[in-house]
Structure 1
């Protein structure tokens, strides 16, 4: 349950229903408030509308071109398609809800919707980041390898794509089962991992997420870069 900064220690069996109602009302208040002014919400909604619309169109165009032109269906491009696919899903299952919440100045789809939004966006964001790390590693091993890359070998790339999804699920499912939690963040019109709770349970998850889903992929990206700073322009 997404309840923060509140104590119900005075609840007893005799008034448990009353306390449950109080918790639900607190949660509803937490999800319905925003810390931004109407002008602030308007600016955020315009930015989200722009990002969502162009992100959807651009990534959809990438997928259409990949499906239409056989010459683009190389193993390495599958990793790029995986990134475009995950980004497209963000524009479909994430951005519309935060956009609608910003236009109304409050979260609109309740506690379950908040948990779903936080989980889905965390999952898809980590998939994109891990896919970039896998792409960097693949390019590095190809350039450093003694033989020419096999442009027909899809197995290694398919394993990399599967790894990006499994690894992301491994780090985004725990909050659904008690290791940290998903809840409102920022101005109250989006949801994510509970970044503010100071409990050992929550802090341990945040540190682990930071290390294994940001620092490690970032180090792999740095390690996979060629010595020539312009080398990444010429795959």
Structure 2
């Protein structure tokens, strides 16, 4: 995993060959002292058109604005509003903090894109990848904590309620779990951070074919993807199972009593809390899998499969999906929260949010104040 394991390409020869062919190769404008930090896999590909770099920069700028505004509002409202300072919402705030800082590093990508390459250099690459590693893994584990909290609240409404102390301890465990996976490659103790794709973003090295590096990829794949995803799928599947069994029990009891339903309100517009929870569970599970699975597959192909499949353009797609989730999370976890909308309505009336207080109180009562947090 030392830099000595990587041969230094000759930039003069690469530039001369590129000019003769009428097109530059990736890394043609990187100083020789910086080339050693770039996996040679990327240096054989032609540089994309300038418009591709600029388009990606504009997309990341949109992600940056959406994430900073959305997650910034979540952090502000959930910490400032007394009614929202519940143990369950501690996880929501932590997720918003992770997503906020994940996209706070976007200016480095934008700067690289508008300079068409590795403009921020090795230091910028390390900052970008370190922040991304911490916030990405912490967000995954926080999603697992949210899944556990909702599972315990729904399946064990009397005994399973998460207390403030328990929530804080769980978050401390999340960060203790996460920090090694950022520090180890940063210090090149195990693994390392390198540029990828168009050399405008950085992540852990999944291309070096050494035993140590392949072992690192396999371990970080397990700890950052398999474990949190397994927890999320398990807890949310238990929630769906609980909802289905509850609905079945209600129907059987209603049949015994010769009534159509035991529910007092059969208005289709007023979907039951249980059904809303089930839908939210499936949405959250799908969001995590859809956003992080492409990157997980990419890393496994780079470490154990056919590296020729990983072209610079292909590898930029998982990078975008991982960043997109940081923009969507505030809407999934918070903007659908009725008490959050009430606080936004009170504090930012110019947003013209029309939330019924009576409906919100009804939902809060029916959900015991925890289901929607």
Normalised by the length of structure 1, the TM-score is: 0.83
Shift in Å, 1:218: 0.5
Shift in Å, 1:100: 1.1
Shift in Å, 1:97: 0.4
Gaps of 5+ in 2: 10-30, 244-274, 281-370
SS of corresponding position for 1:192: strand
1:60 equivalent to 2:72? Answer: yes
* 8 A contact 1:2–1:111 mirrored in 2: no
Number of the residue aligned with 2:171: 161
* 8 A contact 2:145–2:170 mirrored in 1: yes
Number of the residue aligned with 2:354: none
Number of the residue aligned with 2:183: 173
Give matches, 1:211-222, under 5 Å.
211-222=222-233
Shift in Å, 1:136: 0.8
1:88 equivalent to 2:100? Answer: yes
* 8 A contact 2:8–2:36 mirrored in 1: no
Shift in Å, 1:82: 0.2
Q: State the superposition RMSD in angstroms.
A: 2.7
SS of corresponding position for 1:163: helix
Shift in Å, 1:133: 0.6
CA distance in 1 between counterparts of 2:3 and 2:55 reads 28
CA distance in 2 between counterparts of 1:119 and 1:29 reads 16
Number of the residue aligned with 1:24: 33
Shift in Å, 1:170: 2.1
SS of corresponding position for 2:233: helix
1:114 equivalent to 2:160? Answer: no
Does 1 or 2 have the higher relative contact order (CA < 8 Å, sep 6+)? 1
* 8 A contact 1:129–1:217 mirrored in 2: yes
CA distance in 2 between counterparts of 1:77 and 1:99 reads 32
Give matches, 1:133-144, under 5 Å.
133-144=144-155
Shift in Å, 1:2: 5.3
* 8 A contact 1:185–1:192 mirrored in 2: yes
CA distance in 2 between counterparts of 1:215 and 1:30 reads 26
Query: Of 54, 67, 72, which residue of structure 1 is paired with 2:84?
Result: 72
Q: 1:207/1:74 Cα in 2 relative to 1: closer, same or farther (>3 Å)?
A: same
Number of the residue aligned with 1:16: none
Number of the residue aligned with 2:7: 6
CA distance in 2 between counterparts of 1:28 and 1:171 reads 19
CA distance in 2 between counterparts of 1:124 and 1:4 reads 29
Query: Of 168, 192, 199, which residue of structure 1 is paired with 2:210?
Result: 199
1:41 equivalent to 2:42? Answer: no
Query: Of 193, 196, 200, which residue of structure 2 is paired with 1:185?
Result: 196
Number of the residue aligned with 2:272: none
CA distance in 1 between counterparts of 2:164 and 2:190 reads 36
Gaps of 5+ in 1: 9-21
Number of the residue aligned with 2:110: 99
Q: 1:191/1:122 Cα in 2 relative to 1: closer, same or farther (>3 Å)?
A: same
Residues 78-104 of structure 1, C-alpha deviations (whole Å, 9 max, x = no match):
100001011111222x11101111111
Shift in Å, 1:120: 1.2
CA distance in 2 between counterparts of 1:3 and 1:99 reads 30
CA distance in 2 between counterparts of 1:35 and 1:4 reads 25
